Amino acid sequence: MSDSKRASASRVEIAQIMQPNDANFLGKVFGGAVLAMIDLCAYAASSKHSGRVCVTASFDRVDFHEPINVGELVTMIGQVSFVGRTSLEVTIEIYAQNLLTSDKRHTNTAQVTMVALDANGKPVPVPQLIPETREEKLRYLQGKLRRELRSLQRAEYETQAAVFASASEEELDRLLTTPTLLTK
Ligand SMILES: CC(C)(COP(=O)(O)OP(=O)(O)OC[C@H]1O[C@@H](n2cnc3c(N)ncnc32)[C@H](O)[C@@H]1OP(=O)(O)O)[C@@H](O)C(=O)NCCC(=O)NCCS
């Protein structure tokens, strides 16, 4: 069994001023520029916890509630929230600050699952996580719940997708007009 490490020891903070080349066609910051920064922050926190090179396995849902402007300072605070055997979930809080007024707002929270790799590029066990504060304990439980729900949802999706794939044309046409595909 690998050593255990405190969740707080994985905390990282990165900051970057959004530049004109980060802009979309409306002059606001392009979603991909924010996602790239989230990915870097997840890499830093997961590698800090595991002491390994980590790769991105999946992004959990990321909602963009409000735009970030070119010229604003984006700060991301990442910390490992949950670990499996070789995977680590990193929670990232994202803030944007107008440098002229100092107004700072929380724009998103993102969760990214990273996997630690050994020198041969194979998944390798990571240290257990010690959540200490109430917030860290909540995040750990939420991360575990997200993982269990993802696996349940994937299994249900694959079952239903197989039903679609084997359906006749008439059955597909009937399904196209069905208000909901969920049966429970
Ligand atoms: C992520 C990767 C290393 C997993 O390899 P694998 O052979 O499927 O490994 P395993 O099936 O043994 O899974 C290893 C762990 O990853 C987790 N995992 C694998 N795919 C996952 C996914 N899509 N989402 C979340 N977790 C995932 C597994 O649950 C497992 O976690 P655990 O050890 O904590 O239980 C492999 O798919 C990979 O290299 N992907 C490309 C990564 C990459 O290049 N990212 C950047 C994209 S540009």
Residue 86 belongs to domain with CATH number: 3.10.129.10
Residue nearest to atom 36 of ligand 1 (CA): 57
What whole-number percentage of the chain has pLDDT above 70? 98
- Does residue 161 lie within any of the structural domains? yes
Tell me what the mean pLDDT of segment 170-178 comes to. Answer: 96
Q: Which one of 50, 56, 87, 128 would you pick to mutate in the ligand 1 pocket, going by the greatest count of ligand atoms within 8 A of its CB? A: 87
Q: Contact 22/84 with Cβ under 8 angstroms?
A: no
If you average pLDDT over every residue of the chain, what do you get?
95
Tell me what the mean pLDDT of segment 137-155 comes to. Answer: 96
Q: Contact 42/107 with Cβ under 8 angstroms?
A: no
**pLDDT tens sequence across 98-108:** 999 999 999 99
Residue nearest to atom 10 of ligand 1 (CA): 123
- In this predicted structure, the answer to whether residue 29 has a pLDDT above a threshold of 80 is yes
- Does residue 183 lie within any of the structural domains? no
> Which residue reads 């530049």 in tokens?
19
- Does residue 181 lie within any of the structural domains? no
Q: Domain range holding 166?
A: 4-176
Pocket of ligand 1 (CB under 6 A): 55-58, 84-87, 113, 115, 123
> Which residue reads 């069994």 in tokens?
1
The SS3 assignment for 58 reads strand
> Which residue reads 């939420």 in tokens?
142
- Does residue 72 lie within any of the structural domains? yes
**pLDDT tens sequence across 53-94:** 999 999 998 988 899 999 999 999 999 999 999 999 999 999
Supply φ then ψ for residue 28, to 5 degrees.
Answer: -95, 170
The SS3 assignment for 122 reads coil
- Does residue 182 lie within any of the structural domains? no
Q: Contact 100/30 with Cβ under 8 angstroms?
A: no
Ligand 1 centroid to 26 CA: how many Å? 35
- Does residue 62 lie within any of the structural domains? yes
- Does residue 105 lie within any of the structural domains? yes
What pLDDT does 2 receive?
Answer: 52
Count of the separate structural domains present in the chain: 1
Question: Band of the pLDDT at 1, cuts 50, 70, 90?
Answer: very low
Q: How far apart are CA 52 and CA 88, in angstroms?
A: 12
Question: Band of the pLDDT at 184, cuts 50, 70, 90?
Answer: low
- Does residue 184 lie within any of the structural domains? no
The 10 Å CB-count burial string (b at 16+, else e) for 119-134 is eeeebbebbebebeee
- In this predicted structure, the answer to whether residue 178 has a pLDDT above a threshold of 90 is yes
